[in-house]
Chains A and B, each alone.
Chain A
Amino acid sequence: MKKSICLYFQVHQPTRLRLYRFFDIGKDSHYYDDYANRTILRRIAKKCYLPMNDLLLEAIESSGGAFKLAFSISGSAMEQFERYAPQVIESFRKLAETGCVEFLSETYNHSLSSLVNESEFTHQVKRHRKKLKELFGVETSAFRNTELIYSDRIGAMVREMGFQTMLTEGARHIMGWRNPNYIYSNDGNRDLNLLLRNYGLSDDIAFRFSDTGWENWPLTADTFVDWLKAAEGDVVNLFMDYETFGEHQNADCGIFDFMRALPSFVMSDPGLEFVTPSQASSKHKSVAELSVPEAISWADEERDVSAWLGNELQKDAFNKLYNLTEKLEIINDPVLWTDYGHLQESDHFYYMSTKFFSDGEIHKRFNPYDTPYEAFINYMNVLSDFIIRVDERINE
């Protein structure tokens, strides 16, 4: 049997908050930095989404359908595309029409709800499914949680929602001696297959590609295919942020040329083939159940959720936010739901991270705030206004 190569790219843009001062609380309930969101989105659309979508479409068309891959696009990103760069929606639609691209389910707002609140979690997954169907006319059967966060309990909820496949991180502390290049299943639910990210090979592209100090620099497609061939197992899962191409890794470093060359090198090898996550899951058998009692993710050295819920600031903000869910359900107002969704984006909590020393470089790169304290203050000011609005409606 051929070894499967499973590519999945994550597309997400946070809804960045404006500078929201104490003086604004109770007076102004527009929370978002529209200018920054528009400017950043358009920049990335131009540098990454549009050229990369074109490149992939060409590769699919010239492969006669043999080149396959998957996307997961957060609802927050889809909203921004609709508002600021509708041509990006159009170009994803073209990819969807080829039938070679699988779209994955996730929470609408790229949220951390799976960690605390099942009803909010399922609510967001449903909303995201509906949006995907509406924009691209696609159905989903595989699930990818925010930042590949996974635990036994989350897996069970995902299975409950009807998914057969879920993607997560091949975290070293979970895998131990086991090899991520096989299919595993949820502890207790043999019918939920887990695809585990091969972080070594994924990060060779996502992080190390442009690092001139790296021993394997410059990386070429044929070398990379040799590594894929050498990797033992049924399926090699290459999962990464889509913004890797052209945004995190600049076009100058040759990342587009690499991706243009990679598909044909893989396909010309008799032992390799591309599959989508759902195909990988049905083609290969699960070799074992995987026990993950504590949540894992694809972030930082720890591969846990400490980037979002590691310090007391993050925990307090998070608790205050999720204390509101019941009230939101009672009020059931679409405007409040929308803001509630945006406030749940994991990015807001990431900005409050104080893990400056080990993974600080990465944290800084994606952070509009100078310090985690500023991020916290700004977020809490916004949340305080939101709480006032919710309480006013409850008391009506």
Chain B
Amino acid sequence: MFGWEFPPHIAGGLGTACEGIVKGLAYNGVETLFVMPSASGDEDQSSTTIINASDVALDYMTESLSEYTDYIRFIRIGTNMVPYFDPEAFSVAVDRERLMSQKEYRVNYGQKFKFSGKYGANLMEEVARYAMVGSTIAHQRKDDFDVIHAHDWLTYLAGIAAKKVTGKPLVVHVHATSFDRSSNDNIDTRVYDIERKGMEAADKVIAVSDLTRSIVINRYGIPPEKVVTVHNAVDFSGREDTYQERGVKDKVVTFLGRITFQKGPEYFIEAAAKVLKRTSGVRFVMAGSGDMLNRSIRQVARLGISDRFHFTGFLRGADVQKMFALSDVYIMPSVSEPFGISPLEAMRSGVPSIISRQSGASEVLKYAFKVNFWDVDAMADDIYALLHYPALASFAMKEGYDEVNRMKWNNATAKMKAVYESVIK
């Protein structure tokens, strides 16, 4: 299994999902070797064996290697092509990159490459090197596995290389596509090409929702019979309930996530302004960071609601739980969301959630309130109702809590196991 990150050091949801998947697979009797570019050694290896690509020397040559070195030469462009990356971190990365730019880029056989495993400005280089190291690992361990499973485009090249070297079947897992990361259809074509290559080379494609499955079929031209939907789950074991003393008496409506085009922050702000016209005693919080943050702040000021609409900046770890514990309504107005794990987290914390129909999560959540992302009136209505009709709120709270607790990786990974079985000849 090729991943990019694994808890505890994660930047996005991909690492968390991978952890759930390997644990669920172990429960279903499937052993995994989890390869990642940069492991720290403090990952939980009770359900999988972690292979740190930074520790592996490149010793296996394939004729296809030259196609990756092309990528390496290609990377010297300072664009932020990655979704999981906030602007501040990006500028830091670009500066670091500039410092390094004097250095020549070479592929050194017999040497190790220290991956950052992050989503930096040299991401494309890391992706290509990861593919090369991936083929080495696949060759060394070829007797230890039956299926190659690659998570998202970052690891597809590694998956393809491993398949070439070993002839073993490849499953690619689509957690998100280029179309979920860009505004309109303004996609990064280099990423798109890698995604399409991965899907084409794969024996089966797993999509995290029907929404994503249809993108894979329609936008990447993959035959429908090759694409299987396995909805994400979420692992709440070991989660303590966070109690947070409230500072404000008002009800709190929260948006939590990257503040980018596809998360629909402006619809949340518009809905907030509508609710504030009708009622007081409510505050809105936008937690997170992203390239639409500044624009959102201006929008809030322009609407004159900045005493009732708060920004927290990027929240991590315990602060996320704290934020949920302080919330009365959670909202995810995404324009395009392959799955969207955050409403599950919110509902697990007993917070009724309003989510857009343009999210994979809306396919599986019965007790979330669903609206179209552009329908700010409906959003405002739902917010108002959840704030003012306690019976509705407590029903959504209780049922939502039970619902997300029933969504287990054990069930989702049973479906993955079936996918594996279908590709092993």
Binding site for B on A (CB under 8 A): 21-28, 311-313, 315-317, 319-320, 371, 373, 376-377, 380-381, 383-385, 387-388
Question: Which A residues are in CB contact (< 8 Å) with B294?
Answer: 371, 373
Which residue on chain B has the smallest CB distance to residue A21? B312
Q: Is there an interface contact between A387 and B248, defined as CB atoms closer than 8 Å? A: no
Contact pick for A319, options B245, B247, B304, CB 8 Å:
B304
CB atoms of A24 and B247 under 8 A apart = yes
Known: A373-B293, A376-B306. A316 touches B301 (CB 8 A): yes
In the complex, the chain B residue whose C-beta lies closest to that of A376 is B297
Q: Tell me which residues from 256 to 300 in chain B have a Cβ below 8 Å from any Cβ of chain A.
A: 283, 285, 287, 293-294, 297-298, 300
**How far is the CB of A218 from the nearest CB of chain B, in Å?**
36
B322 close to chain A: CB less than 8 A = yes
Taking chain A's interface residues, is the majority helix, strand, or loop, or is none over half, making it mixed? helix
Given pairs A313-B297, A316-B304, 15 additional interface contacts (CB within 8 A): A21-B312, A23-B319, A25-B310, A26-B246, A26-B248, A27-B245, A311-B298, A313-B306, A371-B294, A373-B297, A376-B297, A376-B306, A377-B310, A385-B247, A387-B307
A22 to B293, CA, bound (A): 16
Q: Name 15 A/B residue pairs within 8 A (Cβ), A-sorted.
A: A22-B312, A23-B319, A26-B246, A26-B247, A26-B248, A27-B245, A312-B301, A312-B302, A313-B306, A373-B297, A376-B301, A377-B310, A377-B313, A380-B310, A384-B308
Interface of B is mostly: mixed
**C-alpha gap A55/B297 in the complex (Å):** 47
Interface: B103 (CB within 8 A): no
Q: How far does the Cβ of A351 sit from chain B's closest Cβ, in whole Å?
A: 14
Q: Give the chain A neighbours of B249 by CB distance below 8 A.
A: 26
Q: A377-B297, A377-B313 are in contact. Are A22 and B306 (CB under 8 A)?
A: no
Residues of A within 8 A of B326 (CB): 23
Known: A26-B246, A373-B293, A373-B297. A316 touches B285 (CB 8 A): no
Within 8 A of A (CB), among B216-246: 245-246
B307 touches A313 (CB 8 A): no
B306: contacting residue among A26, A317, A385, CB under 8 A: A317
Q: How far is the CB of A19 from chain B (nearest CB, A)?
A: 10
B298 touches A313 (CB 8 A): yes
B90 interface hit (Cβ, 8 Å): no
Whole-angstrom distance between the alpha carbons of A385 and B326 in the complex?
Answer: 16
Given contacts A22-B311, A22-B312, A312-B301, contact A320 B306 (CB under 8 A): yes
Q: Name the distance in Å between A258's Cβ and chain B's nearest Cβ.
A: 39
A371 to B87, CA, bound (A): 13
Chain A nearest CB, measured from B249 CB (Å): 7
B residues less than 8 Å from A25 (CB atoms): 247-248, 310
Compute how far the CA of A388 lies from the CA of B319 in the bound complex, rounded to whole angstroms: 23
How far apart are the CA atoms of A25 and B323 in the complex, in Å?
13
A383 close to B301 (CB less than 8 A): no
Chain A residue, CB-CB nearest to B248 = A26
Across-interface contacts of B311 in A (CB, < 8 A):
22, 377
Q: Please, which residue of chain A has its CB at the minimum distance from the CB of B309? A: A380
Nearest to A315 among chain B residues (CB) is B301
Chain B: minimal CB distance from A4 (Å): 45
Contacts of B310 in A (CB 8 A): 22, 25, 377, 380-381, 384
Which residues of B, 304-341, contact A by the 8 Å Cβ criterion?
A: 304, 306-308, 310-313, 319, 322, 326
Which of B283, B301, B313, B319 is the one whose CB lies under 8 Å from A313?
Answer: B301
Q: Name the A residues within 8 Å of B308 (CB-CB).
A: 384
Q: Do the beta carbons of B306 and A380 come within 8 Å of each other?
A: yes
5 A-B pairs with least C-beta separation: A26-B247, A27-B247, A316-B301, A26-B248, A312-B301
State the CA gap A27–B246 with chains docked (Å): 8
- Give CA–CA (A320, B301) in the complex, Å: 10
Q: Name which residue of chain B comes closest to A323, CB basis.
A: B307
Determine whether the beta carbon of B248 is less than 8 Å from that of A380: no
A contact residues around B297 at 8 Å (CB): 313, 373, 376-377
Neighbouring A residues of B302 by C-beta, 8 Å: 312, 316
A319 CA to B326 CA, complexed, in Å? 28
Contacts of A315 in B (CB 8 A): 301
CA distance A383 to B306 in the complex (A): 10
Interface centre among B249, B297, B319, B326 (most CB of A within 10 A): B297
For B312, the chain A residues whose CB sits under 8 A away are 21-23
Complex CA–CA separation, A311 to B300 (angstroms)? 13
In Å, the complex CA distance between A21 and B312 comes to 7
Q: Which of B14-40 contact A (CB under 8 A)?
A: none
Knowing A25-B247, A26-B249, A313-B297 are in contact, say whether A380-B307 is a contact too (CB < 8 A): yes
Within the complex, the shortest CB–CB distance from A311 to chain B, in Å, comes to 8
Kindly state the separation between the CA atoms of A388 and B248 in the bound complex, as whole angstroms.
8
Note all chain A residues with C-beta closer than 8 A to B322.
23
Query: How far apart sit A319 and B301, CA to CA, in the bound complex (Å)?
Result: 11
The residues of B that contact A371 with a CB separation of less than 8 Å are 294
Chain A residue numbers with a CB within 8 Å of B247 are 23-28, 385
**Is A383 within 8 A of B307, CB to CB?**
yes
Is the pair B301, A22 in contact by a Cβ cutoff of 8 Å? no
For residue B248, which residues in chain A have a CB less than 8 angstroms away from its CB?
A: 25-26, 388
Complex Cα gap A387–B250 (Å): 13
CB distance from A318 to the nearest CB of B (A): 10
Instruction: Report how far A23 CA is from B285 CA in the complex, Å.
Output: 11
Chain B residue nearest to A28 in the complex (CB): B247
A28 to B294, CA, bound (A): 26
Residues of A within 8 A of B319 (CB): 23
Give bound CA distance, A373 to B306, whole Å.
12
Q: Which residues of B contact A311 (CB under 8 A)?
A: 298, 301
Q: CA of A22 to CA of B248 in the docked complex: distance in angstroms?
A: 10
Contacts of B306 in A (CB 8 A): 313, 316-317, 320, 376, 380
The distance in angstroms between the C-alpha atoms of A24 and B246, with both chains bound, is 9
Chain B neighbourhood of A385, CB < 8 A = 247
Is A384 a contact partner of B246 (Cβ separation < 8 A)? no
B129 to chain A, nearest CB (A): 33
Residues of A within 8 A of B283 (CB): 384
Contacts of A383 in B (CB 8 A): 307
CA gap between A125 and B285 in the complex, in Å: 38
Chain A residue nearest to B308 (CB atoms) is A384
What 1/0 flags go to B173-189 for Cβ under 8 Å of A?
A: 00000000000000000
Asked whether, in the complex, the Cβ of A22 is within 8 Å of the Cβ of B285, the reply is: yes
